[in-house]
Structure 1
Amino acid sequence: MNKKRRIHAVITGLAVLCCLFGFMACKPQDKSKEAASETVKEIKKTVVTTVAPKRVPVFYSGMQENGTIEAVEQVTVKSKVSGRLEQMLVHQGDRVEAGQTVALVEHKSIQARLESAKADLVVSQAQLAQAKVTLADAQKEADRYEKLFKDGYCTEQQLTQRRTTLRTAQAGLAVSQANIAKNKASIGEIMVDLDEATIKAPIAGVISDDFSHTPGEMINTDTLIVEVVGMDRLYARVNVAEQYAHRISKGMKVFISLLGDKKGPYEGSVWRIQPTVDTATRTTRVDALANDSSAMRPGMFATVFFAEEKMENPVVLPADAVKRSNGDHFIWLKIGDKATRLIVKPGLKNGNETAIEDVIPEGARIIITGGDNLKDGDLVVEANHQAAASS
């Protein structure tokens, strides 16, 4: 009997061990089945990318052209006198004001001419004073002989001599007056030369070129001294193809963008339109004046957008997000984890963006990729969420 009990106990123990091992073996299989089930559910979600709705105050549509920034005022200054360059007072990059001295031409010889002309004027003025005295005496003598001749106390020949003397005195006075005028004119010319020996900036701006002048070199009236560029008024010059030129009008709003600039674009307006077409390039020149040119420099590359039409307070989205089917335009929205089809009325288009006036539900995101085979109510997941889950 004891032997039977021992056998029974052994059999019971073996049974317990089998159950235990069976339970442990079955547990991972249940988890694997659950994981596989979850994966199947996840596979049923369409992977999409989305953007948040963006509403802007004003959306413009139009055309875009490339151009170059130029200055309204740009002057190359030449010397108006010949001589030796005495001093160069400014250099490339310096800012100057209108009337500021930029260079000096040696003017000792001009000063000597001026002193000589002033001395000649003094002599002429003395000669004029003498001529006036001579004329006054001749006038008195002629008047006296007129009376004597009338009373019969002198001959006609004597009267004629006095009249001739008077005319000579009058001529001498005229010559003296002419000499004074000539002396003054000469002094004026020399003063101009003296003034122009001091070369001044005609406008306010920046010295864009000083032509590498050094004191002591000889210059003449053909010598370029400096180039001054006014920086306060800059514009973008573009060449518009003739088939598009009719779309541009004077005063049209523009937006000017610069390479590498993150603050722009900068507003402006069409300032000038060339009335003719260049037969060589088949383009028309258009100048767009910037309202704020502080970030611009002449010679910069610029992109000019001509605003032809505008919408106020629209939602702006990538143009590819708008689909079309059976004559309807629609977009796909991600609301929660489901896709919703929304019929929209597309408005203006600008490059890769389009504007719509429709109301987008609160919290919805616009599906931009992955929506080609969607149906209303399909489960969707963001691409970045999918990637995070996979990792």
Structure 2
Amino acid sequence: MNYETRVNTVDTDGDVIVEDIIVEDAPAPPRRRWPWFVLAALLLGAIVAFFMLSGGEEEVPFGAAADEGQTQSVTVISPGAASLEGAINATGTLAARREMPVGVVGEGGRVVSVPVEAGDWVRQGQVLAVIDRSVQNQQAASQRAQIDVAQADADLAQANLDRALQLVERGFISQADIDRLTATRDAANARVQVARAQLGERQARNAQLNIVAPAAGLVLARNVEPGQVVTPGSGTLFSIARGGEMELLAAVGENELAQISTGAIVEVTPAGGDQSFSGQVWQVSPIIDETNRQGTVRVALSYAEGLRPGGFATATIASGSVVAPRLPESAILSDDDGSYVFIVDGDNKVVRRNVTVGAISDEGIAIASGLTGRERVVLRAGGFLREGETVRPVAGQ
């Protein structure tokens, strides 16, 4: 765009000359235009923000309602009651159901060989370790010789007695001599019996030199090597799980312990794997540990390669079907007096209700006692309420 301007100039004679000069306008900078999709996004964001700020009922913070004289609203649910498959989750340690420690029974000695390893299956009476018996064999041979000596003395005493009996009829031998020879013969026979008993003892001791399996089962541990000298004080040399049977020692709280009965089916999952093994409760602890208020549930398991004694495992114990309300974890509170919930009565006042929790599942926590399921239970934020406080209940999902 051009425009005209008037300029006054002075010539060389001092006269003022007025001139009209046409000045060209500088080109205008191009006008910036926003892309359509940016404008659409801004418009959509403004609409969403408007509805978020203006829609719904403004929530009154807990504690602020009482200060401002307002009644605060709380979300409540009526859980009802349903038949639930009781399942108790527990953790514990795997172990041999009947673990047999094996040590030195006899006098011990130097170990010559150990023909088994940990993890081997053995039968009853199978030799686990062989102990040198060279000295003991010589002692047994000596006892056999003592039997022969004693037997020879007994034969001689019998022969002397037989001859004396033939002479007594002729009057050459007195009755006192006969009695003496009879006693000598009896003593010789007794020495034979003593020698035989000593040989039997020696043979029994020699038989105990070898360490054998007291029952068939799985060798869990081997604590002896060839060349080692063992004695009755050497402790456990082998550990055997009789029949290879395993068990889980599950720790269960005293409230849940009462719900478990012998014969209940249990699913056991060892740590570090996803394979589960089925077992059965064969013993429920008759006592409760005073320190942690728990009892032990022993779950019998058949042998499986994935079950290793000493390992950690989780268990799901079937506790039968129960009819009980079920609440989310947010509705249940606890203090020194135990677990409780807040309910809203007919006058919209908050009332504390003590409850006993039961099985825990993905759907919630079963309430074993304390609720019928028809109450209006505060769903969450119960920790900010006071018993006797008036509230405005709002039904939750």
TM-score, scaled relative to structure 1: 0.56
CA distance in 2, matches of 1:140, 1:164: 15
Q: Of residues 91, 95, 98 in structure 2, which corresponds to 1:66?
A: 91
1:188 aligned partner: 200
CA distance in 2, matches of 1:163, 1:240: 86
Mapping 1:149-298, distance limit 5 Å: 162-211=174-223, 213-224=224-235, 225-230=237-242, 232-264=244-276, 266-291=277-302, 293-298=304-309
* Amino acid corresponding to residue 171 of structure 1 in structure 2: A
Mapping 1:298-313, distance limit 5 Å: 298-310=309-321
CA distance in 2, matches of 1:176, 1:278: 66
How far off is 1:129 after superposition? Answer: 2.0
1:136 aligned partner: 162
Higher mean C-alpha displacement, 112-121 vs 164-173: 164-173
How far off is 1:113 after superposition? Answer: 0.1
C-alpha spacing 1:293/1:310, structure 2 compared with 1 (3 Å): farther
CA distance in 1, matches of 2:308, 2:258: 29
CA distance in 2, matches of 1:135, 1:281: 82
CA distance in 2, matches of 1:166, 1:241: 85
Aligned residue pairs total: 258
* Amino acid corresponding to residue 268 of structure 1 in structure 2: G
How far off is 1:138 after superposition? Answer: 3.9
* Amino acid corresponding to residue 195 of structure 1 in structure 2: A
Q: Secondary structure at the match of 1:296?
A: coil
Residue by residue over 1:342-387, the C-alpha shift from the partner in whole angstroms, topping out at 9 and shown as x without a partner, is xxxxxx9861159xxxxxxxxxxxxxxxxxx9x9xxxxxxxxxxxx
Mapping 1:307-322, distance limit 5 Å: 307-310=318-321
Residue by residue over 1:303-352, the C-alpha shift from the partner in whole angstroms, topping out at 9 and shown as x without a partner, is 222212149xxxxxx998xxxxxxxxxxxxxxxxxxxxxxxxxxx98611
Structure with more contact order per residue of length (Cα contacts < 8 Å, sep ≥ 6): 1
Higher mean C-alpha displacement, 161-170 vs 113-122: 161-170
- Structure 2: 5+ residue stretches without partners: 1-83, 329-357, 365-394
Check whether the contact 1:118–1:187 (CA below 8 A) recurs between aligned residues.
yes
CA distance in 2, matches of 1:353, 1:134: 100
Percent identity, please.
22
C-alpha spacing 1:244/1:350, structure 2 compared with 1 (3 Å): closer
How far off is 1:89 after superposition? Answer: 2.2
- Structure 1: 5+ residue stretches without partners: 1-58, 146-153, 312-317, 321-347, 355-372, 376-391
Check whether the contact 2:90–2:252 (CA below 8 A) recurs between aligned residues.
yes
Residue by residue over 1:214-234, the C-alpha shift from the partner in whole angstroms, topping out at 9 and shown as x without a partner, is 433322222243223346211
What is the CA RMSD across the aligned residues, in angstroms? 3.8
Q: Of residues 114, 120, 137 in structure 2, which corresponds to 1:88?
A: 114
Residue by residue over 1:84-105, the C-alpha shift from the partner in whole angstroms, topping out at 9 and shown as x without a partner, is 2222323333333322222221
Check whether the contact 1:267–1:292 (CA below 8 A) recurs between aligned residues.
no
Q: Secondary structure at the match of 2:174?
A: helix
Check whether the contact 1:71–1:231 (CA below 8 A) recurs between aligned residues.
no
* Amino acid corresponding to residue 219 of structure 1 in structure 2: V
Q: Which protein is richer in helix relative to its size?
A: 1
Pair 1:107 & 2:133 matched? yes
CA distance in 2, matches of 1:180, 1:196: 25
Residue by residue over 1:265-303, the C-alpha shift from the partner in whole angstroms, topping out at 9 and shown as x without a partner, is x32222123322333443322211125645312112122
1:352 aligned partner: 362
Q: Secondary structure at the match of 1:278?
A: coil
C-alpha spacing 1:174/1:353, structure 2 compared with 1 (3 Å): farther
Check whether the contact 1:60–1:350 (CA below 8 A) recurs between aligned residues.
no
How far off is 1:83 after superposition? Answer: 2.1
Residue by residue over 1:187-224, the C-alpha shift from the partner in whole angstroms, topping out at 9 and shown as x without a partner, is 1121122212222222333333322x443332222224
CA distance in 2, matches of 1:238, 1:127: 69
2:352 aligned partner: none
CA distance in 1, matches of 2:91, 2:286: 20
TM-score, scaled relative to structure 2: 0.55
C-alpha spacing 1:169/1:67, structure 2 compared with 1 (3 Å): same
1:77 aligned partner: 102
